[in-house]
Structure 1
Amino acid sequence: MLLTVLGGCGVWPAAGQACSGYLVEHDGFRLLIDPGYATVPRLLERVGADQIDAVFVSHGHPDHCADLNPLLRARTMLENPAAPLPVYAPPGALDAVLALDRPGVLTGSYVLRDVVPDIGPFRVRTRLLPHSVPNVGIRLTAGGQVLVYTGDSGPSPDRVELARDADLLLAEATYVDQVPKGSLLTSARQAGRQAREAAARHLLLTHLQPGTAPAAARAAAATAYDGEIGVATSGLVIDVQEIR
């Protein structure tokens, strides 16, 4: 299983960067997770729009789904339009982004599904995690390897359970240490604690708010977790098999 980070900024894309976007590949199948702001140009540097086999969107905030629009445009406006793209998302999460175009432009370019079965070669388990809008964390298993992605969420026992014994935990960590009161988001320190509780082998922090020093986020996570810690940045590629 191969993970390519297209972007890892939270909230908005910093200069030269992109928001949440992750390409996961196994046995020739390409799953795009969370096409946030500015991710499609980076995706198209690697593969054609018509080479994506499915999309999973954790929740409807635009830093996680805004670039679904250009992806669908790129597929449907080809000389030979691509087959309808399976798109998995919580109910209603994509209403706004799918309404960006005038009626009919994207007709036939996607099949929207709010129930996530197994996807291609990936065995899938999902869990609704706490956030300001419905947010679905996902656990992908393929070839004996496990990748877990939290989307955005406040700390939760369900987040730990979803990540149990994962090879790679891709965890939202918007803040370094202190999370503003009432915010259903997670700090790097909390992400480290949850990675330890889940016995995850590798922790990859993502969704850092622009201006956050990656070294500070890693250091905060390391106060609770003694495994390998990275920060998701555009262009980072991880072969999950090599973690085992």
Structure 2
Amino acid sequence: MTLTLDIIGVAATAPVLTSAASGYLLTTESGSVLVDCGPGVVMELARRGLLDDVRAIVVTHRHADHALDLGAFAFRVQFPTPRAERIPLYLPAESLDYVASFDDLIGIPTVPTLQQPLAQAFDVRGLDLVTPTPIEILDGLVLTAHAAKHAVPSAALRFEHHASGAVVAFSSDTADCAGVRAAADRADVFVCEATYLRATEQELEGHGHLTGAGAGALAMAVGATTLLVTHIADPSLASEILADAVAAAGDTVATVLARPGDRHTAGVAQPA
């Protein structure tokens, strides 16, 4: 048994020509979990024939490049024929009001299945970032959310797969902090944002982001096996940001650029 990670989208702020915004698909023997649902993610999932595989969704925070396609996802699964069961949707407990606010904007009063699209499509559940608590999100796949450091409540995620022993972690948008270090501790695969090549103190610590060098240093500090560098604001700087991450992470961390369409496997495959 293995835990696989499909890269759906990596763009920061908004989709670009080569990528949707943030979106990643974790797959186990029990199904798939979508991590973040930024603009373009639903179209990419549909193009790959993966929409129906999604059994749960985790959104790290409410910013548009991580959550805006929840509306598109809800419309897709609610119309013309709703799914038999609502899909569990996890997001920081402090941001649960996001669902009602979004529904107020996009709901269609004259279509019964779309009057409150998100509330009707999703079984909405809050993530406790104050007291991180393991949640079995699928059979054998446990999620623990930790508080990241960002402009809004933001969840650094740690997924542990019991069958393989694999750990896949996501930084969310964050500065270096205790929460993201706990989430990524000795992760087999650490998906980490590297928004900037160079940045001011306000952009990093005030707003809550990382550079390539910061992502690499963080991966080395937590003992990650593989670092996937993602969420780059200016794609033309990707090679320089990656180079900084590689230099900071050192020889003990395999550091690569997260690219849409790539698949990564975490853990050791078990005999069939």
TM-score by length of 1: 0.92
Displacement, 1:83? 1.5
Cα 1:98–1:234 shift into 2, 3 Å: farther
1:196-240 CA deviation, whole Å, 9 max, x = no partner? 100100000111003343221111012221221111221111112
2:145 matched residue in structure 1? 126
Residues 33 and 57 in structure 1, CA contact (< 8 A), matched pair in contact too: yes
C-alpha distance in structure 2 between counterparts of 1:118 and 1:81, whole Å: 22
Distance change (3 Å), C-alpha of 1:210 and 1:105: same
Deviates more, 1:63-72 or 1:153-162: 153-162
For 1:197, the equivalent position in structure 2 comes to 221
C-alpha RMSD of matched pairs (Å): 1.9
- Report the alpha carbon displacement of residue 49 of structure 1 after superposing the two structures with TM: 3.0
Measured in 1, the distance between the counterparts of 2:154 and 2:82 equals 34
Residue range with higher mean Cα deviation, 221-230 or 195-204? 221-230
Give, in angstroms, the shift of residue 80 of structure 1.
5.4
For residue 37 of structure 1, give the secondary structure of its aligned residue in structure 2. coil
Structure with more of its chain in helix, by fraction: 2
Identity %: 24
- In structure 1, what is the equivalent of residue 166 of structure 2? 145
Which residue of the partner structure matches residue 228 of structure 1?
254
After superposition, the C-alpha distances for 1:88-147 in whole angstroms (9 at most, x for unaligned) are: 001325334343322525253111100372200311211011100000111001121000
Mind listing any 5+ residue stretches in structure 1 that lack a counterpart? none
Count, aligned residues: 243
Displacement after TM superposition at 1:242 (Å) = 6.3
Distance in 1 (alpha carbons) for counterparts of 2:67 and 2:79: 20
- AA aligned to 1:56 is V
Whether the 8 Å contact between 2:22 and 2:36 is mirrored in structure 1 is yes
- Normalising by the residue count of structure 2, what TM-score does the alignment of the two structures yield? 0.83
Secondary structure (helix, strand or coil) at the match of 2:214 reads: helix
Q: Tell me how far apart the structure 1 counterparts of residues 136 and 150 of structure 2 sit (CA, whole Å).
A: 24
> d(CA) in 1 for partners of 2:39 and 2:208?
21
Q: Which residue is equivalent to 2:131?
A: none
Gaps of 5+ in 2: 110-114, 129-134
Larger radius of gyration: 2
Partner of 2:74: 72
Q: 1:90 aligns with which of 92, 106, 113?
A: 92
Secondary structure of 1:175's match?
coil
Residue of structure 2 aligned with 1:13, choices 15, 22, 30:
15
- In structure 2, what is the Cα distance between the partners aligned to 1:169 and 1:156? 15
Alignment of 1:11-90 (within 5 A): 11-79=13-81, 81-90=83-92
Structure 1 consecutive aligned stretches of length 4 or more whose deviation exceeds 6 Å? none
Is the Cα contact below 8 Å between 1:75 and 1:82 reproduced in 2? no
